[in-house]
Amino acid sequence: MEQTKIKKVLVTGGIGYIGSHTVIELIEADYEVIIIDNLVNSSLVCLERVKAIVSKPENITFEEVDLRDATRLSQVFHEYLPDAVIHFAALKAVGESVAKPLDYYENNVGGTINLLKSMNLYKCNMIVFSSSACVYGDNPYASETDRLAPINPYGMTKVMCEQIIQDYSNTNKNFAAVILRYFNPIGAHSSGMIGEDPKDIPNNLMPYLQKVASGQLPHLNVFGKDYDTVDGTGVRDYIHVVDLAQGHIVALDKQEQLQGYHVFNLGTGNGTSVLQLATAFEKAFETEMKKVMCDRRPGDAPKSTACADKVFNELGWKAKLDIDDMCRDSANWTKKNPNGFHAQP
């Protein structure tokens, strides 16, 4: 790679849940950030809060751009000439991806192709891409070299984007591509000013717990009670969103050794069951929640955890925060913002 220190980072989807936490870490690590987002699943209130949290808000620029708009995207590259891209922007609801597969392929895969074309045109030679544990399908302890077997269109978009990025990186010897396969991000910034705020009724466990604890949903449906796990409920590798965000900074900082194509799991390696997470969240929120034991959710794996050895051995990254930290910060965000980024009704 032509070695110029990365300074300007374009962050797609940078006011979404993981993107906003990463922008904070980028600014504190002295990067300049250009965010692009089409606001399909985010709010400008989040951007205002991020600017209020960081030490140098003047280093954040926001452009409302849809990745599917190749002309507009290329104008942004022309104007800012970023040194690297962190690519979060995607649609991410598994059920919706089954109902609207074309929208998911168009947005996630089409958006990634547009992005790579602009990067190629403007000689931007590093991408960090948000992939997901769901590329592994049903795999209780996944390593990066394991077989990819997604079971829904959302997961397939991630596999396709990984492949496209790999093929593109093979054509450009100066290119560095880092694929980060996130396990289950939860938690929030310690300020309680930003956190996860899904627009509809949540599908994922932590945002659902947040809604039950704040009285907006009556009870937690526990999907599956007879798995071969510690207490019969599904086990996942939850990771604090701030640990995850810091993983991206480590990748940018190590650009010298990351020329070529690299894949890393970002997880803790530890499994937590649905009931264990619910109990930890109840403690953090100082409440008790009604739980209704239900049938298994179709397509769910009994257990999904990461082998996180590679990212530690090669990049020196390791998650620092535990389940109680995650629940404390999710509870703090929810107590302070029961309606997320929306004003109280």
Cβ proximity to ligand WQD: between 59 and 203 the closer is 203
Binding flag, residue 337, ligand NAD (CB under 6 A): no
Is residue 40 part of the contact set for ligand NAD (CB under 6 A)?
yes
The binding site for ligand WQD (CB under 6 A) comprises: 92, 94, 132, 134, 184, 203-205, 208, 221-224, 234, 236, 274, 297, 300, 304
Q: At what angle do helices 17-28 and 44-53 cross, to 10 degrees?
A: 20
Residue 18 interacting with ligand NAD (CB under 6 A): yes
Residues 176-235 that bind ligand NAD (CB under 6 A): 182, 184-185
First to last CA, the chain: 52
Beta strands at 84-87 and 126-132: parallel, antiparallel or unpaired: parallel
Pick what 305 binds: ligand WQD, ligand NAD, none; C-beta below 5 to 8 Å, kind-dependent.
none
Nearest residue to ligand NAD on Cβ basis: 16
Give the residue with the Cβ less far from ligand NAD, 18 or 222. Answer: 18
Which CB, 222 or 241, lies closer to ligand WQD?
222
The residue count for the chain:
345
What does the alpha-carbon distance between residue 14 and residue 284 come to, in Å, rounded to a whole number? 28
224 in the Ramachandran plot: left (φ > 0), alpha (ψ -120 to 50) or beta? Answer: left
Partner whose footprint covers residue 111, from ligand WQD, ligand NAD, none (CB < 5 to 8 Å by kind): ligand NAD
Task: Tell me: does residue 17 bind ligand NAD (CB under 6 A).
Answer: yes
Active site residue 227: no
**Cβ 222 vs Cβ 297: under 8 Å:** no
Work out which of 11, 15, 148, 331 binds ligand NAD, going by CB under 6 A. Answer: 15
- Does 306 participate in binding ligand NAD (rule CB under 6 A)? no
Catalytic residue among 17, 80, 104, 154: 154
State yes or no: residue 128 binds ligand NAD (CB under 6 A). no
Contacts (CB under 6 A) with ligand NAD, residues 68-107: 68, 88-92, 107
E strand map for the chain: 8-12, 32-37, 60-64, 84-87, 126-132, 141-142, 176-182, 184-186, 220-223, 235-236, 238-240, 260-266, 272-273, 291-294, 303-306
Please identify which residue in the block is written with the tokens 């054509």: 171
Find out whether 12 and 85 touch, Cβ atoms under 8 Å.
Answer: yes
Q: How far is the CB of 278 from ligand WQD (least distance, A)?
A: 8
Of 85 and 259, the one with the shorter C-beta distance to ligand NAD is 85
Residue with tokens 């990748």: 251
Secondary structure of residue 106 in the 3-state scheme: helix
Q: Is the dihedral angle over the CA atoms 283, 289, 292, 298 positive or is it negative?
A: negative
Residue closer to ligand WQD, measured from CB, 130 or 169:
130
Cβ-closest position to ligand WQD: 234
Please identify every residue annotated as catalytic. Answer: 154
Q: Which residues form the interface with ligand NAD (CB under 6 A)? A: 13, 15-19, 36-42, 66-68, 88-92, 107, 111, 130, 132, 182, 184-185
